[in-house]
Structure 1
């Protein structure tokens, strides 16, 4: 009655806070998820999920399918791994989550190369403004940038990444000089909303003057880093962005670093992983390729962060 596709589908729903979020992770419409869930419940003959004011609640039967289904999926994947290991072939389905911009620019090309190297692999790459939300057990690797919440996952650093305060020369020429972090309160600031962080609280540290925290009032905000950078390039305000995103613009003079002696907290690129004994061979193989790709970050070849 149940196929492995059914089990994977239900596991995705069971790990999501809502059907809308499950639809987003599955890259389908919410009505499609609702219709497929209804068809699944009709086939098994019982209700699997109750919707409450607080979200989704699994019925006893839903808990059974989610729990035992996860074990079955894991057993099938382990069997595939064992068979593949005898032929030294990397196979199975790899699930990777990453931030929008960084994922498009630096993770997607690695996924492409990895798939070419290993034809027996299938891959799901999910991009979002907060990949940390994808930390359910069904994701093999979660690429993250910035502060980390508490998690039982292992964390490994993939590449160094500073945050840089910057703006277009045109903006800086039209506005009062910025000599201290406190001066930012009188300027137009652009905020990137990501990772559920307080994006209006900008922190800085100086070798001699210590630490300073500034509460900005953004004139414009978005959850897409590319949009924020484009707004800054257009002279609309000041941004606090990762060097991977603005290094080329800084090197070309399209953006100019501000307060170079005041350092925002670093935001290294990290990967969140399952425990070593619970990781598949394909996950370890992809992690190695990803490490190799980021061993000498492209963004540091033409630009060195301010000291």
Structure 2
């Protein structure tokens, strides 16, 4: 007889690229995952996974178990949630995914407060390069920064965030003055590859001009925001990056905003919620804490002065 733990285990397997990936998500060794999967297949009497050079492939029986198991787990969680609503406690497991840098700086402290306030709840926090690409059935809350394309999830905004074009004083001192967006095509630009966006297409607007779009030719690129920020601080080129990550460097003058009269598209900090799961008591409690941590907006609060968000409407 299968248990809810079996369904949860196989759900992680079904959503993983490999058994090694599944072991990391489950925080156990790869041999332990293989052994448990083998035992599960022996109990149900059918093969659930086919392994190939392309990764894990679910058999027809595996597809059935993943789908039906997910529905059963959802039903159990919804029943637990409804029973929990008759009390004032927040309980159950909260699954959160977030980007690496933002997750470390802002989400992890909110999670710490959440578990202190609600000791009957448990949390699984996973940081990822592409949190929005994770299966919506595996996560209660996905923190996302960037463009959204055709999401089926519920979206709630947590904090405003702009993209800022900037460079170090050393770079600007040694290169021609940038007066208009088109001038960036002659610059040594650095690109951050994230969220499957077209990162070489930079868009700008301002009230008194038509929008401008330019195609940069990246001198260097990376998928790690901290690395790209370090390159910019070292004077290696021009970057376009979220203000949450740059505000301290802009306030201290380590980086200088370029084209302050022009505005790149906003990339607000949002939470993506499963449309099927809705908003449980624990999700609501966590989002309330996240909003408190992000209000007033920490990257726009600089008591010593320095950077402030440009007043372009």
TM-score under structure 1 length normalisation: 0.91
Q: For the residues of structure 2 that align with 1:62 and 1:292, how far apart are their CA atoms? A: 42
Query: In the TM superposition, what is the alpha-carbon distance from 1:238 to its structure 2 partner?
Result: 0.9
Query: In the TM superposition, what is the alpha-carbon distance from 1:85 to its structure 2 partner?
Result: 2.9
1:39–1:90 distance in 2 versus 1, CA, 3 Å: same
Say which SS state the counterpart of residue 86 (structure 1) adopts.
Answer: coil
Per-residue CA deviation, residues 102-136 of structure 1 (Å, 9 max, x unaligned), is: 11111110001101111111111111111111142
Match of 2:309 in 1: 305
Match of 2:240 in 1: 240
Match of 2:73 in 1: 73
Q: Does 1:227 find its partner at 2:221?
A: no
Matches within 5 A, 1:162-181: 162-181=162-181
Match of 1:154 in 2: 154
Per-residue CA deviation, residues 27-57 of structure 1 (Å, 9 max, x unaligned), is: 5676664454334323332101234676644
Say which SS state the counterpart of residue 124 (structure 1) adopts.
Answer: strand
Query: In the TM superposition, what is the alpha-carbon distance from 1:189 to its structure 2 partner?
Result: 1.2
Q: For the residues of structure 2 that align with 1:103 and 1:173, how far apart are their CA atoms? A: 34
Query: In the TM superposition, what is the alpha-carbon distance from 1:235 to its structure 2 partner?
Result: 1.1
Query: In the TM superposition, what is the alpha-carbon distance from 1:17 to its structure 2 partner?
Result: 5.4
- Superposed CA RMSD in Å reads 2.2
Q: For the residues of structure 2 that align with 1:249 and 1:300, how far apart are their CA atoms? A: 12
Contact 2:136 2:153 in 1 (8 A): no
Between 20-29 and 164-173, report the one with greater CA deviation: 20-29
Say which SS state the counterpart of residue 85 (structure 2) adopts.
Answer: helix
Q: Does 1:113 find its partner at 2:113?
A: yes
Between 31-40 and 171-180, report the one with greater CA deviation: 31-40
Query: In the TM superposition, what is the alpha-carbon distance from 1:276 to its structure 2 partner?
Result: 8.1
Query: In the TM superposition, what is the alpha-carbon distance from 1:11 to its structure 2 partner?
Result: 1.0
Contact 1:135 1:142 in 2 (8 A): no
Matches within 5 A, 1:197-276: 197-275=197-275
Contact 1:159 1:270 in 2 (8 A): yes
Structure 2: stretches of 5+ with no match in the other structure? none
Contact 2:141 2:271 in 1 (8 A): yes
Between 200-209 and 236-245, report the one with greater CA deviation: 200-209
1:218–1:266 distance in 2 versus 1, CA, 3 Å: same
Q: For the residues of structure 2 that align with 1:271 and 1:294, how far apart are their CA atoms? A: 13
Contact 1:190 1:220 in 2 (8 A): yes
Query: In the TM superposition, what is the alpha-carbon distance from 1:99 to its structure 2 partner?
Result: 0.9
Per-residue CA deviation, residues 77-100 of structure 1 (Å, 9 max, x unaligned), is: 233323433331111110111111
Paired residues in the alignment total: 307
Contact 1:15 1:136 in 2 (8 A): no
Q: For the residues of structure 2 that align with 1:230 and 1:251, how far apart are their CA atoms? A: 16
Say which SS state the counterpart of residue 95 (structure 2) adopts.
Answer: strand
1:297–1:13 distance in 2 versus 1, CA, 3 Å: same
Say which SS state the counterpart of residue 278 (structure 1) adopts.
Answer: coil
Between 270-279 and 186-195, report the one with greater CA deviation: 270-279
Structure 1: stretches of 5+ with no match in the other structure? none
Match of 2:3 in 1: 3
Q: For the residues of structure 1 that align with 2:296 and 2:76, how far apart are their CA atoms? A: 37
Match of 1:133 in 2: 133
1:283–1:224 distance in 2 versus 1, CA, 3 Å: same
Q: Does 1:104 find its partner at 2:108?
A: no
Contact 1:260 1:306 in 2 (8 A): yes
Say which SS state the counterpart of residue 240 (structure 1) adopts.
Answer: strand
Q: For the residues of structure 2 that align with 1:178 and 1:14, how far apart are their CA atoms? A: 50
Between 145-154 and 46-55, report the one with greater CA deviation: 46-55
